[in-house]
Structure formats: C-alpha cells, structure tokens
Amino acid sequence: MKYFNITGTCVPEKHYMVDIDERLGIIKAMVDRGDYFCINRSLQYGKTTTLKAATRLLMPDYSVFQISFEGQGDEAFRSPENVAACFFSLLNRKLKFDHSLVVSEGARSIINELNGRESIHLNAFSDAVNELCSTNDRPIVIIIDEVDQAGNFDGFAKFLGCLREMYLERENVPTFQSVILAGVYDVKNLKRSPSTPKELQHNSPWNIAAPFEVDMSLSENGIKKMLDEYEADHSTGMDTSVVARMLRSYTSGYPYLVSRLCMLLDKSGDWSQAGFLEVVRVLLNERNSLFDDMVKRLEQYPEIKNLLERILCHGFSISFNIDNRYIEFAHMFGIVRDRKGFVTVSNRIFETRLFNYFTSEQETQEVLESQATNSNRKIKTIES
C-alpha cells in the first residue's frame, strides 16, 4: 500500500504524490535544446524528486549522470582543481552503483582513469570532458544536486567558469549536452560572496543559464487527483475536492506542507473540515526541519526578520522589488512571494507560524524587561 512521504525522494510506485509529468516534459524539452539551467527552490520543495524523475525520463536518449555535492568536505571545493577531481570521482561512483546508466567502454575508461586524483588542472579537465563526450555513444547530461555545499567557495565559481567556456565553444568542440544545477541558492548569488574575486563579482560564472520558470507548487487539481487515488485505496468517504481546496488554501501548494498535512490526516482518519483544522493546529505546534530552517534564515538575515515583522505585526505594505537583496533572498528561501506587487508571506501556514514566533518573542522580551525593572527597584530600595 502506498503512503505519504516527507523524507527523501518520492517514488510514484511507493508514495502518494502529485503527477509531475508536465514539469518533466519542460525539463526534457530544455535538455533536448541543449540548455544549461538551474533549479532553485526552497528546502523540501521537491527538487530531488524532480531530478530523479527527470533522470529516468532522459535515460533512453542520454547518458545521465545525476550526482550530488552533499557530504563532500570543504577541501573538495577549495580550488577549481579540487572541484574537477571531486567531479570525476562522483561520476565514477555513479558508474559503479547505477547499473542502468548506459556509457560506452571508452567513456568509462576515461572516468576510471581520472578517478581518485586529488586535483585535476582545468585545462586537463576540459580536454577530458571533450574526449569523454566525443567517445560516448550518447550525448551526456550532468545533473548536480545540492550545489549549495560548494556555493561559498571561489574554486567552485572558477569551475563553473570552465564549464561556461566549454558551453560557449560547443559548436567547435564536444561537451556536455546539458548541465543542470540544483539547490536553494541561485548560483548567480555566488558573485555576492565577500571572498569571491573581483573579476567574478559583476560577471556571474553561470550567466549562460536558461531561465527555469516552472511552477513547482502543487495545484489544487493535482492534489485532488492524488487524494482520489488515496480514497480509492482507503474509502474514507472524504470529499476530495473540498480537502484539496483546503490543502491548497493553507499551503499554497508547498509540497512538504501538503504531504505533512496528508500524513497527519491519514493518521487521524478524520478527513472532515474539523479534522483538517485539527491537523493544521498540530502542524503549527510541531518542530520540523522546514520550520527550523525558516527560523535559521531569520537569524542569519535580521533584515528579513525585520521585514516580515513589519508586515505581519505592524501591517506595513511593502512593494515587491526583486532588486532588493533581502526581498530576493526571502523569496529564494520560499518565505515570501509577490502578490499584486506587494511582499506577502508565501502561505497561511508560514504566516501563522511566523506571527506566533514574533508574538512569543515580543512577550518574552516584555517579561525580561519587566523583571529587570523590578530588580532595579529592589536594588534602589535596599540602597535607600
């Protein structure tokens, strides 16, 4: 029996999930065109699930290397030579464990030869990529997940610059068909790292990227179809249209929130409106990685915290301007969205959670200030 999943990749054969075929079709068309692009979405927004499904879709026509920078130590990104060596080690690991990956013997030999090196000079890296792509029987697609792990390192920016140069010369020399980078941060923000060399601060190392303008939120209709499948298996008697509408209304289609609420509803067995409101209350009071990450972002960027507090607690209307760094980052983290030209919290769940957070913080501050005032009074009384 299928179940709702909030950890790791969702698999259609195992989990209840919204159909993403339309999204995958757009990715396939971009790869067929030879686009290099980024999939940047906030935490637990279905990036890895989309990438794995895209890999399966692309496999008949391409040799697809889906790798991840997650778990690689800092040393792997300290220089572009280190990144190049890490890249080929990850390709080799993919070859070793993914038996569905079709690669010619010549290409396999090149990867094996470069595996295990501590560093690879970028000129040698470019030559190896040229040879790899000319030797393999199929065009090669590279998908790199969790690029945030390398985002603060100048070595990674220079490595991307090398891939960019090969892309610009691809009419003359063989190179990758497509390179897809995935993470929370847009790699264009690499130029804003204080340690990034001046020559890269105004010229993004990935300015060749085609825009990926795909709505990855879950639609009301998509949620309903998922619930219809669940209802066919469990016969709860729920009105799937009503529940789908409530899920979309409270979450704005944020994939983790939709799945988590469905998990709680499945556990309670009450898919009525009252049951739905009860699991919303449970969700708003639980600790989870998504809420923890949101609070971490507010602590990391006090300006974003101040922006949200003004909107939620003081009723300010603030124009949505993507050129404002903190509005851009809050949008990138999935906390806010553009609604009719104004900054709005992304969904009702986030809005309530943040309002409760700010209110609690204010109450705590008032208590501490009151205690400090009373202590000062007692000290003065003793002195007198």
In the structure, what pLDDT confidence band is assigned to residue 366 with cuts at 50, 70 and 90?
confident
Arithmetic mean of pLDDT, 202-228:
90
In the structure, what pLDDT confidence band is assigned to residue 187 with cuts at 50, 70 and 90?
confident
Q: Look at 207 and 82; give whichever has higher pLDDT.
A: 82
Q: What is the pLDDT of residue 191?
A: 47
State the Cα torsion 286-290-292-293 to the nearest 10°: -170
Q: What is the pLDDT of residue 377?
A: 63
Which pTM value belongs to this model? Answer: 0.89
Is residue 217 predicted with pLDDT exceeding 90? Answer: yes
Arithmetic mean of pLDDT, 126-140:
97
Is residue 193 predicted with pLDDT exceeding 80? Answer: no
Distance between alpha carbon 254 and the CA centroid of its chain, in Å? 12
In the structure, what pLDDT confidence band is assigned to residue 375 with cuts at 50, 70 and 90?
low
> Which of 66, 62, 114 lies closest to 88 in space, CA to CA?
114
Give the percent of the chain with pLDDT over 70: 91
Angle between helices 348-383 and 273-284 (to 10 degrees): 50
Please, are residues 31 and 177 in contact by the beta-carbon 8 Å criterion?
yes
- Among 57-61, 97-101, 172-176, name the one with the lowest average pLDDT: 97-101
Is residue 164 predicted with pLDDT exceeding 80? Answer: yes
Q: 102 CB contacts (<8 Å, ≥6 apart)? A: 59, 63, 137, 138
Q: Which tens digit of pLDDT belongs to each residue from 272-289?
A: 999 999 999 999 999 999
Q: What is the CATH code of the structural domain delimited by 289-355?
A: 1.10.10
Q: 38 CB contacts (<8 Å, ≥6 apart)? A: 180, 181, 182, 183, 186, 187, 206, 209, 212
Is residue 188 predicted with pLDDT exceeding 90? Answer: no
> Which of 78, 209, 84, 81 lies closest to 154 in space, CA to CA?
78
* Buried b / exposed e along 124-134 (16+ C-beta atoms within 10 A): ebbebbbebbe
Arithmetic mean of pLDDT, 108-118:
94
Is residue 186 predicted with pLDDT exceeding 80? Answer: no
Q: Which tens digit of pLDDT belongs to each residue from 316-351?
A: 999 999 999 999 999 999 999 999 999 999 999 999
Q: What is the pLDDT of residue 362?
A: 85
Q: What is the pLDDT of residue 152?
A: 76
Is residue 202 predicted with pLDDT exceeding 60? Answer: no
The residue ranges of every structural domain in the chain are: 21-201, 220-283, 289-355
Q: Which tens digit of pLDDT belongs to each residue from 52-92?
A: 999 999 999 999 999 999 989 889 999 999 999 999 999 99
Q: What is the pLDDT of residue 195?
A: 45
Is residue 384 predicted with pLDDT exceeding 60? Answer: no
Give the C-alpha separation, 123 to 76, whole Å.
18
For the chain, give the mean pLDDT: 91
Arithmetic mean of pLDDT, 349-360:
96
> Which of 66, 314, 56 lies closest to 178 in space, CA to CA?
66
Query: Can you read off the two tokens belonging to residue 91?
Result: 């390709």
In the structure, what pLDDT confidence band is assigned to residue 200 with cuts at 50, 70 and 90?
very low
In the structure, what pLDDT confidence band is assigned to residue 196 with cuts at 50, 70 and 90?
very low
Q: What is the pLDDT of residue 373?
A: 64
Is residue 198 predicted with pLDDT exceeding 60? Answer: no
Which fold would CATH assign to domain 21-201? Answer: Rossmann fold (3.40.50)
Q: Look at 178 and 188; give whichever has higher pLDDT.
A: 178
